[in-house]
Structures are given as structure tokens and as C-alpha cells.
Chains A and B, each alone.
Chain A
Amino acid sequence: MAAVKQTVEHVASLEKYKHGFVTDIEQDFAPKGLNADIVRFISAKKDEPQWMLDWRLDAFERWLAMDEPDWAKVNFPRIDYQDSYYYAAPKEKVGPKSLDEVDPEILEVYKKLGIPLREQEVLAGVEGAPRYAVDAVFDSVSVVTTFKKELAQVGVIFCSMSEAIREHPELVRQYLGSVVPVSDNYFACLNAAVFSDGSFVYVPPGVRCPMELSTYFRINAEYSGQFERTLIIADKGSYVSYLEGCTAPMRDENQLHAAVVELVTMDDAEIKYSTVQNWYPGDPETGKGGIYNFVTKRADCRGDRSKVSWTQVETGSSITWKYPSCILRGNESSGEFYSIAITNGRQQADTGTKMIHLGANTRSRIISKGISAGKSSNTYRGLVSAHPKAKGARNFTQCDSLLIGKQCAAHTVPYIEARNGQSKFEHEATTTRLSEDQLFYAMQRGLSQEEAVQLLVNGFVKDVLQELPMEFAVEAQKLVAISLEGSVG
């Protein structure tokens, strides 16, 4: 557990939100506001085929007829959808490019963020250290994707969504919107109309993806939203592990991030999807600024014995509203959801999962750890349901909340529906306050108050941290510490 010590040391040397810098680069913007012409503009910018444009316009029509949902336990002023840019991209030609063509300013951003974009830098790392391929999305577009060639050798397609639409239209048309339909919900529908980029992964039958894949999302431009779309398909008997990371500059206005992630697993395939979300959380005192993170993530375990595992560490955003879900369609398919959601300052999070058991003998497991500090509010909202045909469905849910201080709130809202008599669902939930007694005990042994909080919190979230790929677990542990800095006062 050297990481604990490391956490403790790092925290001392870090500021509150270290990713809050802005990069000054020339950008292409679509005119502010949203209408059918903007949708056409985005599609044209990306050189899309007619079918894609039609799909977007259809989504836009539907979106106009929808109302913004208000059932989540979060409060925010009405969003003016006309006061935002729906497309912002570094000024450069569209299309695949080599790293040498990427604006050095952008490369500098990723360097600052510690994201390796140069393959040789990754390769030059410690021998035997796990490597991972990166797709870097800067505002609305993907700027570079690494290790594409090496992945192509085993048949794995890893590229930006724009490129996939051009190069692999048959796959995109078959799967896009098949897990999250166009008009699934307000924000997903908006995303379908204006999504700008994202990552696309296809793993062919029987292939175990030789490295971790990851996408790193960065919002840089002012008054812009980010609407990325990610589609991952794991064909029969394949395996892929994928990680998503996010940061944004500190800005006074709220920025909307409405992403859609669709996962499809065929027979015996497995996708492990991890997220370390660290969007700017807004000013801790006033609550001003920060990202609205309204994301739809869903997996369709289409094949028998297929498996999807969601792991998320949510520390940023002023408002988080997301429920990575699994539709357990295939017989004996299984879904897992491991979550750490931390809110501090004035942050609000309403997050959880849905496990929809459709096939026979499907299994799901939910471990959720919510930590609230400051004046924040943290809600777990989850649904576990079993269809009449889902005989022998099993679920285990464990939902723990930890309160730090006296002005924060934690809520747990589980929905459980078993529509057959042969399902077995278990739900355990606890809410505890970080106790003064425990803190004093640790301090009496020599830990400072801050170190004591970190040690106790790390203990609380351990079950979830160990689900993350090793190198990200260390990163996430540091993030947990930073997010809670100054939370005990």
C-alpha cells in the first residue's frame, strides 16, 4: 500500500484543481446557438455522408419536441441551449494525421496532463510496464490516436468516431444508436444531433486486445459544450479494457458535457470500462462555474455469457447525472458496476446504475461508495429489474455512504423489481459519518488530520479502487485525496 503514502505526499504539493489551466490556440467555432443549420454545419465540417446527416437531423427534430427532465436530485438554473457553442475545434484540417502535424500547444496540454501521446515515450517507459493506447479528444474533435498500427495488426479498430464514420460505415450504421436509441432521453437526443467526436473501438472475434485503450477528454474553449459519442463493440469471445479520463479549465460559466457511450458485447465477450472523471467542479465556496456532466452510458450484453464491467471514479463536475447501465440480454451474461462518487464544496451528484436482467441466469453486482463533504449532495440512484424470462437472475448490491462534516447530504434511492419468482436480489446499504474518534485515533499515532482523512477514505473506497487497472488506481487514489482536501475543518 505504498500508494497511500504516495497519496499523502502528493496532496501536500498539489493545488486544489490542478487541471484548471486554459490553452490559447486558434479555434474554429460554429456560430453560437443551436438550430438545424448548426447540425448541418457540424456534419459538413466532419465531411460526413448523407445518412449520418439525416440521422442527426432526425435526432434534432425529436429533441425539439422533448422536455428537459427534472427528476434527478440536483438543482441548477435553466440551461440556455442557445448560449453555447456546439462545435469548437483546433484550427486544422480534418482527417487522420500524424503527431507531427498536431499543434504543439495541444501536445503541451497533454504533456501537462501527463497523457502520453508519443508512442516512443510510452515505449521508453519501464520495461514490462503496461502500455496503453490513447485517443485524445480536444473540445469537439479527436486530435490524435496512438498505437493504431499495432492494434490493426490484431484486427482491433481504435479510432475517432469521425474516422469510423468515414472508414467503417457498415459497423457504425449497424451499431450506432442500437444501445442508446436516438430519443432515449433529452441529453442523449441532443448528443445524437450535435455529437462532434469520440472514440470507436471494434474488437474482432476471439481477440484479446493487447493493451489498455483510453480516451482523454479535454474541454478547453469558453462557452462550449462537449458532446462526444463513444461506441465499443466486442465481438464473440473478445476482450477489451478501456479507460476514459476528463478534465477542463476553471471557468466561471457552466459548461455542458452531454456524452453518450454505447457498449455491445457478443457471446463470451467482455468489456471492462473505467472512468476517472475530474471535470472542473466549480468554485467550492460560491458554487460558480464547473461542468454539468449529463451522460448516458449503457451496455448491451447481447451475447450469451458476455460480460460488462463499469468502474467509475467521479470526483469532478459541478453536477454529475449519470447511470452507467447494463442490459443483460444474453443468457448467463453478467454486469458489474463499481463506483466511487465524491462530492465536496457545492457539488451535486446523482449517479448509480441500472441492471436490466432479460436473459436467464444473468448476474449483476453493484458496489457503490459515495463520499460527501463540504456542502455537497450525493445521491445513489439504482435500478435492478428482472424480466419474467430472466429466471435465476441474481443481483448483489452494496451501497455505502460516508459523510465528512455536518453540512453535506447523502441519499440512496434503490429501485428493485423482480417480475419472476426465481430471481434473487440482495441489497445492503450503510451510511456512516467519518468519526472524530477514528480521526483522533489515527492522529494519536502520528498522522496529520489531512493524512488521517485520506487513510480512512482510502480504506472506505478500497473495494472499488482495486477494480481499476493498476496505474489508474494509483492516479484515482491521488484524485480522491485532492478532492477531499480541506474537507475537515
Chain B
Amino acid sequence: MLSVSNLHATVDDKEILKGLTLDVPAGEVHAIMGPNGAGKSTLSYVLTGRQGYEVTAGGATLDGEDLLALEPNERAAKGVFLSFQYPLEIPGVPALTFIRTALNAQRKARGEAEITAPEFLKLARAKAAELKIDFDMLKRALNVGFSGGEKKRMEIFQMAMLSPRFLILDETDSGLDVDALRIVADGVNALRSPERAMLVITHYQRLLDYIKPDRVHVLAGGRIVESGGPELALELEREGYEKYARAA
């Protein structure tokens, strides 16, 4: 599914990713853990094509297709979804309008027919119920005046609606209390399937109690410095990142 090789990227001429290599096969959930400033968010922005994140060497492909050559919206249409660490507020645009516009833009880019209004509403009601989101909230301007937890839940709702193939969760657990975390994790787990892959970026092990990863990678100094099974996350929880920070 996702294959990243020797990726180098700069932000404001400062090199943040320094030869990152990573493979996430379809059907698997990989966690990326690491100290602050290791390049975790940079990785998510480079994969999604944010302006200002310049790739200087290496590459990234999704099912063999060069991701880095595509515009952010084209990557979205290919099924790449980023759940933002800090979701943006979109004043004056109801959440449902935003998501429907996005969904249809993606469908159009893939040469599929647009979703009809009744189909869309039916889907939205079902997904909102699963994520325990009050349907009236979806009629309000997206994320405007929402609490931190509501915004995160809204990210997962968008994810459920858009049904992406490759999911990146950037610090999705930050700002969530235990109940909200459980709901969000249930939403994410519901999307696990043999056709999908996920990259879960987190600073703490806590989230991984709910979203069980197949592989855990340590990102430090712009590179993957260690990889292992779920037990690696527990080890990190006990011992911290200090030895990797030194290694970097």
C-alpha cells in the first residue's frame, strides 16, 4: 500500500526528514511514535502535499503510484486522508455542506457519479449515530465553536463519510477524555479492513490501547530508528525516548 523510501524533506530550508523509509502494507495499522520535533507531523504533511514542505530526495508511492507528484486534492481522491492534529474552523460552511462538497469532488475526480442528497443524508445519519454525534451539530458551521473533543470526533466522522483507503491519524488522542477516546477509537477500528492501511501518529502509548497496531516505529531525528511489534510501544512508555534522542 504505502511505500516511503529514503525521504528527505525541508521546511523553511531546514531539513526535517532525513532519509525516512517505511512500508505499510494493506490491511495493517502502523504506529509512528517519537519525541517532540522528531518530524512526525512533517511526515503527515509531506504525504498529503502541504505547501511549504519540500521533498529534496527520496519518494513515496501509494500502490505503486507516485504520491508526491499529485496535488493535495488528487491525493485525497486516491484515498489519502489526514485526521488533523488541529482541525480548522470553516465559518459559514455547514459541516454537511463541506463534507458533501468534498465527497463529490473526490467522486468526480475518480470518474464516479455524485452522491444524491437522500443517499448522502442517509449515510450521514448512520455514521453520526455510530460516532454519537448530534445530527444538528452537522448543520452548524464546521468546527466553529466546537470543543477540542468535538473537533476530533468530527475528523473521524469526515473519515467515515469519505471512506479513504489510506488513513493518517495525527495525534488524534490529544485533547480527548477517556470516553471520547473510546468513541473515536471505535470509529477508527470500524474502518479497519484488508483493503485499508493506517498510520497512527502519537506521542503516547495510550491511544494504542484502543487502536492496536500491527507494527510500531520510532521516529527520531527525521528517520525511523527502530521498528517492532506492539510491545515496542509499551517499552517506550516505560523508558521514554531519551536513548533515541541521543542516537539522533
The answer on a CB contact under 8 Å between A451 and B101 is yes
The answer on a CB contact under 8 Å between A459 and B141 is yes
The count of A-to-B residue pairs whose CB atoms sit within 8 angstroms is 93
In the complex, what residues of B have CB within 8 A of residue A455's CB?
Answer: 90, 93, 97-98, 101
Which single residue of chain A is at the shortest CB-CB distance from B77?
A: A446
The answer on a CB contact under 8 Å between B90 and A459 is yes
Stretch at the interface among A1-9, A66-74, A319-327, A404-412: A1-9
The answer on a CB contact under 8 Å between A446 and B51 is no
For the complex, give the distance between the alpha carbons of A449 and B84 in Å: 18
In the complex, what residues of A have CB within 8 A of residue B71's CB?
Answer: 443, 448-449
Contact of A8 among B51, B101, B109, B162 (CB under 8 A): B101
The answer on a CB contact under 8 Å between B72 and A444 is yes
In the complex, what residues of A have CB within 8 A of residue B158's CB?
Answer: 445
The answer on a CB contact under 8 Å between A444 and B92 is no
- Judge whether A99 is part of the interface by a CB distance below 8 angstroms: no
In the complex, what residues of B have CB within 8 A of residue A443's CB?
Answer: 49, 71-73, 76
The answer on a CB contact under 8 Å between A442 and B90 is yes
The answer on a CB contact under 8 Å between B93 and A458 is yes
For the complex, give the distance between the alpha carbons of A443 and B101 in Å: 11
- Judge whether A170 is part of the interface by a CB distance below 8 angstroms: no
In the complex, what residues of B have CB within 8 A of residue A2's CB?
Answer: 117
The answer on a CB contact under 8 Å between A4 and B97 is yes
Contact of A444 among B82, B91, B99, B141 (CB under 8 A): B82
For the complex, give the distance between the alpha carbons of A113 and B84 in Å: 44
- Judge whether A436 is part of the interface by a CB distance below 8 angstroms: yes
The answer on a CB contact under 8 Å between B87 and A459 is no
> B22 CB to closest chain A CB, in angstroms?
20
Residues of A in contact (CB 8 Å), total 29
Cβ < 8 Å to B, chain A residues 71-98: none
The digit string for A340-382, where 1 denotes a CB below 8 A from any CB of B, is 0000000000000000000000000000000000000000000
Contact of B87 among A436, A441, A448, A456 (CB under 8 A): A441
The answer on a CB contact under 8 Å between A459 and B105 is no
- Judge whether B103 is part of the interface by a CB distance below 8 angstroms: yes
Contact of B50 among A440, A448, A451 (CB under 8 A): A440
Contact of A441 among B49, B88, B91 (CB under 8 A): B88
Contact of B91 among A445, A446, A451, A460 (CB under 8 A): A460
- Judge whether A47 is part of the interface by a CB distance below 8 angstroms: no
The answer on a CB contact under 8 Å between A462 and B92 is yes
In the complex, what residues of A have CB within 8 A of residue B106's CB?
Answer: 445-446
- Judge whether B61 is part of the interface by a CB distance below 8 angstroms: no
The answer on a CB contact under 8 Å between A445 and B102 is yes
- A444 and B105 in contact (CB under 8 A), knowing A455-B93, A459-B93, A459-B141? no
- Judge whether B202 is part of the interface by a CB distance below 8 angstroms: no
For the complex, give the distance between the alpha carbons of A54 and B49 in Å: 69
In the complex, what residues of B have CB within 8 A of residue A449's CB?
Answer: 71, 73
In the complex, what residues of B have CB within 8 A of residue A448's CB?
Answer: 71, 73, 105
Which single residue of chain B is at the shortest CB-CB distance from A447?
A: B105
- Judge whether A119 is part of the interface by a CB distance below 8 angstroms: no
- Judge whether A222 is part of the interface by a CB distance below 8 angstroms: no
- Judge whether B175 is part of the interface by a CB distance below 8 angstroms: no
In the complex, what residues of B have CB within 8 A of residue A4's CB?
Answer: 93, 97, 101
For the complex, give the distance between the alpha carbons of A398 and B73 in Å: 34
Contact of B102 among A435, A440, A446, A456 (CB under 8 A): A446
The answer on a CB contact under 8 Å between A447 and B90 is no
The answer on a CB contact under 8 Å between B105 and A451 is yes
- Judge whether A463 is part of the interface by a CB distance below 8 angstroms: yes
The answer on a CB contact under 8 Å between A445 and B162 is yes
Which single residue of chain B is at the shortest CB-CB distance from A9?
A: B108
The answer on a CB contact under 8 Å between B92 and A446 is no
The answer on a CB contact under 8 Å between B51 and A463 is no
For the complex, give the distance between the alpha carbons of A449 and B76 in Å: 13
The answer on a CB contact under 8 Å between B92 and A459 is yes
Which single residue of chain A is at the shortest CB-CB distance from B52?
A: A436
- Judge whether A23 is part of the interface by a CB distance below 8 angstroms: no
- Judge whether B172 is part of the interface by a CB distance below 8 angstroms: no
The answer on a CB contact under 8 Å between B84 and A441 is yes
For the complex, give the distance between the alpha carbons of A455 and B105 in Å: 12
For the complex, give the distance between the alpha carbons of A445 and B104 in Å: 10
- Judge whether B35 is part of the interface by a CB distance below 8 angstroms: no
- Judge whether A438 is part of the interface by a CB distance below 8 angstroms: yes
> B139 CB to closest chain A CB, in angstroms?
10
The digit string for A1-19, where 1 denotes a CB below 8 A from any CB of B, is 1101100100000000000
- Judge whether A437 is part of the interface by a CB distance below 8 angstroms: yes
In the complex, what residues of B have CB within 8 A of residue A5's CB?
Answer: 100-101, 104
In the complex, what residues of A have CB within 8 A of residue B99's CB?
Answer: 445
In the complex, what residues of B have CB within 8 A of residue A459's CB?
Answer: 90-93, 141
> B244 CB to closest chain A CB, in angstroms?
29
In the complex, what residues of B have CB within 8 A of residue A447's CB?
Answer: 73, 101-102, 105
Contact of A458 among B75, B77, B81, B92 (CB under 8 A): B92
The answer on a CB contact under 8 Å between B162 and A446 is yes
For the complex, give the distance between the alpha carbons of A360 and B2 in Å: 70
Cβ < 8 Å to A, chain B residues 75-133: 75-77, 81-82, 84, 87-94, 97-106, 109, 117
For the complex, give the distance between the alpha carbons of A437 and B50 in Å: 9
- A selection of 28 A-B contacts at a CB cut-off of 8 Å is A1-B100, A4-B93, A4-B101, A5-B100, A435-B88, A436-B51, A438-B90, A440-B50, A440-B72, A441-B88, A443-B73, A444-B76, A445-B76, A445-B99, A445-B162, A446-B73, A446-B77, A451-B101, A455-B90, A455-B93, A456-B90, A456-B93, A458-B93, A459-B91, A459-B92, A460-B91, A461-B92, A462-B93
**16 new A-B contacts at CB < 8 Å, known A446-B103, A462-B93:** A1-B101, A8-B105, A437-B88, A438-B90, A441-B84, A442-B90, A442-B102, A443-B49, A443-B73, A444-B72, A445-B102, A445-B158, A445-B162, A446-B109, A451-B101, A455-B97
